[in-house]
């Protein structure tokens, strides 16, 4: 639906690619094929190339991770693959996975496919609420239920767009450590703060955190390259599961990413994207501030791709979406981000891909349809 010609899509999580140095990437690609073609077109190491792992280690230092070891990195076909592998290794049917309310729909699909019980933990405009986490853990323990891990996106969360403050990150780690709960930290948006702000990764302060990284949002999703930084106790078995799933990630894709990081000014490109996404987010906020009816709230992201909207209880987000589609705008109803039926009065709006002009037009259409739904 979001690909329909003329449709303004607030549903897609597709990054903007217009600032990529295509000429440099073409040169890198030609060099790889002419000089290393037999290598990059062949099978490779099951957990990734040493070249890319070295670049990943340097990149993670930007988020405070100073002690990553190559043997604990598993390069995956996007971070979604890493999450799937982790779930296959750790989860038995009926095991509990804790996740923010709301949380990334792709993760919810992985967890429900593994027959896990996802228990959502309360969140607000600053992300996961530690007091809610502690309360939920106590209740589950009293019921004798087995919690396998906490899944969280602390930096510019999907779908909420929220940034968890350092104090909360520390408290969440303390709660999980005290209750022997593994943390899975998904961080595809961590370097996409509009003002260049970068949150300290939870993995930076705890080697027992599983860190999921991706080049899809900060570089190019079509290459399908991500990684998992695992605790040493898990890295071998995760590597074996990765090999069973895909044999090895694309050597060509890995080496293209590694050469991009090594030979281009990728951080300057990243700064262009930060500015661009910041302007698009502001365009969305400006229209919402002017046209949204009373009784509606939304998050004001400082990075990432998304804003989360809470509607009046009289408005069903799916029905609102159908109305908007008829008028040329699509977004994602909130139920996609829960596993327990919640979200009927919530919605995710993404601002990463539409132009500022389309954002203003689409947001006004959204607000007008919402006003009509409220008035009945």
SS3 string of 228-260? EECCHHHHHHHHHHHHHHHCCCCHHHHHHHHHH
The answer as to CATH 3.90.1150.10 being correct for domain 8-19+268-375 is yes
Residue 2 has pLDDT above 70, yes or no: no
Predicted local distance difference test score (pLDDT) of residue 290: 98
User: φ and ψ at 212, to 5 degrees?
Assistant: -110, 125
When the pLDDT of each residue in the chain is averaged and rounded to a whole number, the result is: 97
Question: What are the residue ranges of CATH 3.90.1150.10 in the chain?
Answer: 8-19+268-375
Other C-beta atoms closer than 10 Å to the C-beta of 35 total 10
Residue 324's pLDDT band, with cuts at 50, 70 and 90, is very high
Residue 346 has pLDDT above 70, yes or no: yes
Structural contact between residues 195 and 274, judged by C-beta atoms closer than 8 angstroms: yes
Mapping DSSP to helix (H, G, I), strand (E, B) and coil, where does residue 307 land?
strand
Residue 227 has pLDDT above 80, yes or no: yes
Compute the average pLDDT of residues 213-226. Answer: 97
DSSP codes, 160-219: T--B--HHHHHHHHHHHHHTT-EEEEE-TTTT-BTTS--PPPGGGG-TTEEEEEESTTTT
Predicted local distance difference test score (pLDDT) of residue 6: 86
Q: Which runs of consecutive H residues, i.e. helices, occur in the chain?
A: 22-40, 50-60, 79-90, 105-113, 130-142, 166-178, 232-246, 251-263, 266-291, 317-326, 356-375
Architecture of domain 36-263: 3-Layer(aba) Sandwich (3.40)
CA-based nearest residue to 180, from 149, 204, 142: 149
Residue 1 has pLDDT above 80, yes or no: no
Compute the average pLDDT of residues 114-133. Answer: 98
Compute the average pLDDT of residues 265-288. Answer: 98
Residue 3 has pLDDT above 90, yes or no: no
Question: What are the residue ranges of CATH 3.40.640.10 in the chain?
Answer: 36-263
User: For residues 83 and 87, what is the distance between their CA atoms, to the nearest angstrom?
Assistant: 6
CA distances from 370 to 92, 133, 136, 329 (A): 42, 33, 34, 12
Residue 4 has pLDDT above 90, yes or no: no
Structural contact between residues 223 and 261, judged by C-beta atoms closer than 8 angstroms: no
Predicted local distance difference test score (pLDDT) of residue 109: 98
């Amino acid at each position: 639906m979001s690909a329909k010609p003329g449709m303004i899509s607030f549903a897609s999580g597709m990054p903007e690619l217009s600032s990529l140095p295509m000429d440099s990437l073409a040169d890198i690609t030609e060099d790889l094929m002419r000089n290393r073609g037999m290598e990059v077109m062949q099978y490779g190491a099951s957990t990734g190339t040493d070249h890319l792992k070295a670049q990943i280690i340097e990149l993670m230092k930007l988020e405070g991770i100073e002690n990553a070891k190559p043997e604990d990195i598993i390069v995956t076909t996007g971070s979604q693959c890493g999450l799937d592998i982790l779930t296959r290794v750790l989860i038995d049917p009926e095991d509990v996975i804790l996740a923010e309310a709301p949380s990334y729909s792709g993760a919810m699909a992985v967890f429900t496919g593994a027959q896990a019980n996802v228990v959502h933990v309360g969140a607000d405009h600053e992300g996961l609420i530690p007091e809610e986490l502690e309360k939920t853990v106590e209740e589950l323990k009293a019921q004798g239920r087995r919690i396998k891990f906490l899944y969280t996106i602390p930096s510019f969360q999907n779908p909420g767009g929220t940034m968890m403050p350092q104090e909360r990150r520390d408290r969440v780690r303390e709660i999980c450590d005290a209750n022997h709960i593994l943390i899975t930290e998904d961080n595809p948006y961590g370097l996409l703060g509009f003002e260049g702000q970068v949150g300290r990764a939870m993995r930076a302060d705890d080697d027992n955190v599983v860190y999921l990284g991706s080049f899809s949002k900060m570089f190019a999703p079509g290459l399908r390259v991500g990684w998992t930084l695992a605790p040493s106790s898990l890295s071998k078995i995760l590597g074996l599961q990765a090999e069973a799933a895909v044999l090895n990630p694309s050597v060509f894709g890995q080496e293209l990413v590694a050469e991009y990081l090594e030979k281009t000014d990728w951080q300057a490109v990243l700064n262009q994207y930060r500015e661009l996404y910041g302007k698009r987010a502001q365009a969305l906020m400006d229209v919402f501030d002017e046209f949204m009816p009373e009784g509606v709230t939304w998050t004001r992201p400082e990075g990432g791709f998304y804003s989360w909207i809470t509607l009046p209880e009289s408005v069903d987000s799916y029905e609102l979406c159908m109305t908007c589609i008829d008028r040329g705008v699509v977004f994602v109803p909130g139920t996609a981000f829960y596993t327990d039926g919640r979200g009927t009065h919530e919605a995710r709006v993404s601002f990463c891909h539409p132009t500022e002009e389309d954002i203003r037009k689409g947001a006004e259409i959204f607000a007008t349809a919402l006003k009509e739904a409220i008035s009945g």
